[in-house]
Structure 1
Amino acid sequence: MAQSVTLILIMAAAVLAPLLAFGTARWISVPLVIFEILLGVLIGPDVLGWAHTGEVIDVLSQLGLAMLIFLAGYEIRFDEVKGDTLRRSAWAWLAALALGLAAGTLLAHGGGFGKGVYVGTALTSTALGAILPMLRDSGDLDGRFGTVTMAMGSVGEFGPVIAMALLLSGRAPARSAALLAAFAVLTAAAVFWAMRPKPPWFAAVIAKTLHSSAQFAVRLVALVLVAMLGLAQAMGLDVLLGAFAAGLITRLVLHGAAPESSGAVLSKVEAVGFGFLVPLFYVVTGIQFDLEALLAGGRELLLLPVFLLLFLLVRGLPVWLLAPRDLVRRDRAALVLFASTALPLVVAITTLGVQDGELGAGEAAALVAAGMVSVLVFPLIALRLRGHAAGGGRPAGEESW
């Protein structure tokens, strides 16, 4: 009974969040995820005490996380971010990883390198799904600045997932690398299949069932997702890597086999993800957010501004140094702010850290809170630097993931 009540409260929060986002858009642009997490905190045990998670809610939340990473993989368009720009983005992220691991280990407070890996990897992530809609609304997505931001953000999404598979698997690095290489080979085989021309009946079935109860394309997407999740789990890798790979493969399949139907199929998948699973994950994150530990004072509360500054230094400094030289100083500063915006992977990594006993609840809460502030503040300043009104375009919170 308690789980049923909690699920009702979670979905009520999911419905209320976009209303709040639209209602506040005239004054300030607040990403939807902020309201979802805050409403979760409100109904959670540390404030009103109405909602408590359990096995069923936790399973649904994990599905939401998998869908979130799947849609992140789908968003990445490597065909548009190649050459020198992609190389600079990769080197900028590798430099950020080195800085992040060093900073995380120094802040581990006796936790050693293990805790430093969780903190350091989280500091290298970029919330691509949160900044893409802002770039789209401002008209910057299709220009040079948008291409560079897409490259930096894509590597900021892809890199931490790979780092988690290598560094957070609990195995020797050599064995983790071997398993990751084997997974990459299998994924490459799936990508090769996805890029091969499909028979005419394949696109015909997608189009014919698009508005029927058969929903062939949506079922195919679900199959690719669970297959890649199962493959990653069977190989002992983080399932988020499987979800990410599934997103990449699905994009290739849909755009290659049925480009005229791919938009409609994606909208159906997004309806399931953004309409149910993803907001559920974020609200549950708020419910499980240890507000009491964060507000107890002491080290955890002091870590919040420290982590926020580290997002700028660890992720932003390499981006500033390695950004393409054709960007003017103002655009480089905006790029740093966009690249330093982080939250979804921060939530995922800290959740794993707490589950594995490497991160304390207060430390995880400080990291997530810093990520929330970065999503709320950094893009708004970046848009101002680019000369756009912060509240223009699509209402706040109508984001990709």
Structure 2
Amino acid sequence: MSHSGTLVLIMAIAVLAPLLAYGVSRWLPVPLVIFEILLGILVGPDVLGWARSGGVIDTLSQLGLAMLIFLAGYEIRFDRVRGDTLRRSVWAWITALALGLALGVLLAHGGGFGKGVYIGTALTSTALGTILPVLRDAGDLGTRFGTVMMAFGSVGEFGPIVAMALLLSGRAPAASAATLIAFAVLTALAVLWAMRPKPPWFSRVIAKTLHSSGQFAVRLVVFMLVVMLGLTEVLGLDVLLGAFAAGMVTRLVLQGAAPESSGLVLSKVEAMGFGFLVPVFFVVTGIEFDLDSLLGGGRELLLLPLFLLLFLVVRGLPIWVLAPRDLVRRDRAALVLFGSTALPLVVAITTLGTEDGVLGAGEAAALVGAAMVSVLVFPLLALKCRARPGEALPRGERAGEESW
């Protein structure tokens, strides 16, 4: 099929997936991304053979990956998660990284430290974007539990991206650290600029062009994303880091310069991302999913349940040990299950690993498959842990609640 035909098929899947998710939701809350990947597998070369990636499709997929990480950076609010809970979440992730790297190198099967880093960092991630709607629907976002989950989840999204930039740059550790510090300084300067008061005309232009062809704010957002991506390319860092930093800086710019318009601007950016680019990325992930290698009955098929278990061991065990002491046992269990839920960053990390020729297609498929199962199973189990007898869902425990 031609690239244009493949793109038509991808967008047809993008339209069908939310319909399926909505239809199934009355029985089981299945995340939209699961349908996008599964339908991509269905039309891909290993099943129906209707679609193949390449050319412009790959370019759009990479833009979708950048937009996905950008939006993840935008939704994280470190200013509202602080104190002892933040320290515990950082140490839990550092412990998970050490454990993940050790196990990753063991599972690399002769692939060396590079393959171990891809596997190990994937095991430390948390799908905060997937968890947030579940917490919101359960009435937990404003509770003590929700605050703790936000802290652990935020670090679970931010940490793996920094680790990838530091460990996979190809430089010596000292040079990698120096480059990362240089990027951090430049990002800090961008943050300082974002936090400075903007002239009155700035917010007026944003408001005036929101419903016109000018769309100044949306163009500014895209410009900041492209600048940060270009900066990471110049410094030889991973594009994920630039996209993530762009998301954090953009939040500060919009909420500082035009707080009354920031919500509408974000909705427009999300429409561009989740309406077009991000679905392309996930459907292409399904098209490139090596189902034959996974189902071949060999090592890769055995790796899928092993990786699922390792999500709980590598990410969940440190969370259980370092969770705030005021959480009761069932809440600590729910925190472990939510924190071990992974998919978007796993897809991103395995995509980079296969493109670099370090991670095998079968191993990447096993990791992504395990992450898909975690998204389907772990949040439901977490909600059951949180529910009290006689309650379908927890409805808030505000005693001892931290400020966000």
Bin for the TM-score computed over the shorter chain: over 0.9
Give 3-state SS (helix, strand or coil) of 1:228's partner: helix
1:253-268 matches, within 5 Å, as 253-268=253-268
- Cα distance, 1:213 vs. partner? 0.9
2:11 alignment partner in structure 1: 11
The CA RMSD measured in Å over matched residues stands at: 1.1
Deviations 1:251-310 (A, max 9, x none): 001111111110000000000000000011000000000000000011100000000000
TM-score by length of 1: 0.96
> 2: CA distance between counterparts of 1:38 and 1:3?
20
Match of 2:166 in 1: 166
Paired AA for residue 191 in structure 1: V
Counterpart-to-counterpart distance in 2, 1:94 and 1:211:
45
Alignment partner, residue 360 of structure 2: 360
* Structure 1 SS opposite 2:197: coil
Tell me whether 1:178 sits opposite 2:178 in the alignment: yes
Give the Å deviation of 1:111: 1.3
Please give the alpha-carbon distance, in whole angstroms, between the structure 2 residues aligned to 1:298 and 1:239.
33
Deviation at 1:120, TM superposition (A): 0.3
Indicate the SS of the match to 1:241. Answer: helix
State the shift of 1:375 in Å. 0.6
Residue 346 of structure 2 corresponds to residue 346 of structure 1: yes
1:198 aligns with 2:210: no
> How big is each residue's C-alpha offset from its partner over 1:94-127, in whole Å with a ceiling of 9 and x where there is no partner?
0000000011111111112221111001000000
Structure 1 residue 197 displacement after superposition? 1.0
State the alpha-carbon separation in 2 of the partners of residues 287 and 295 from structure 1. Answer: 16
* Residues in 2 aligned to 1:12 and 1:110: alpha-carbon distance in whole angstroms: 41
Query: Which residue is equivalent to 1:123?
Result: 123
- Distance in structure 2 (CA, Å) of the matches to 1:357 and 1:8: 29
3-state SS of 2:265 partner: helix
State how far apart, in whole Å, the 1-side matches of 2:315 and 2:392 are. Answer: 25
Report the CA distance between 1:173 and its aligned residue. 1.2
Partner of 2:399: none
The 5-angstrom pairing of residues 2-401 of structure 1 reads: 2-387=2-387, 389=392
SS at match of 1:277: helix
What displacement does 1:146 show? 0.6
1-structure distance, mates of 2:289, 2:351: 10
The one-letter code sitting in structure 1 at the alignment partner of 2:165 is: A
**TM-score normalised by structure 2 residue count:** 0.95
Q: CA deviation at 1:157?
A: 0.3
Give the percent of matched residue pairs that are identical in Structure 1 and Structure 2. Answer: 80
How far did 1:26 drift? 1.2
Deviation >6 Å, runs of 4+:
none
CA distance in 2 between partners of 1:227 and 1:330 (Å): 45
Task: Tell me by how many angstroms 1:386 deviates.
Answer: 1.4
Give the whole-Å Cα distance in 2 for the aligned partners of 1:66 and 1:356: 17
Q: Which amino acid aligns with 1:309?
A: L
Which amino acid is the alignment partner of residue 113 of structure 1?
F
Q: State the alpha-carbon separation in 2 of the partners of residues 114 and 223 from structure 1.
A: 32
Post-superposition Cα deviations, 1:347-384, rounded to whole Å, max 9, x if no partner, equal: 11111111222111111100000000001110111111
Q: Distance in 2 between matches of 1:143 and 1:227?
A: 37
Q: How many angstroms apart in 2 are the aligned matches of 1:64 and 1:357?
A: 21
Render the CA deviation track for 1:188-236: whole Å, top value 9, x for unaligned: 0000000111111111111111111111110110111000000011110
- Name the SS for the 1:39 alignment partner: helix
Query: In the aligned structure 2, how far is the partner of 1:152 from the partner of 1:254?
Result: 25
Unmatched segments (≥5 aa) in structure 1: 393-401
Shift of 1:389: 4.3
AA partner of residue 190 (structure 1): A
| Matched residue SS, 2:4 | helix
Counterpart CA distance in 2 for 1:60 and 1:372 is: 23
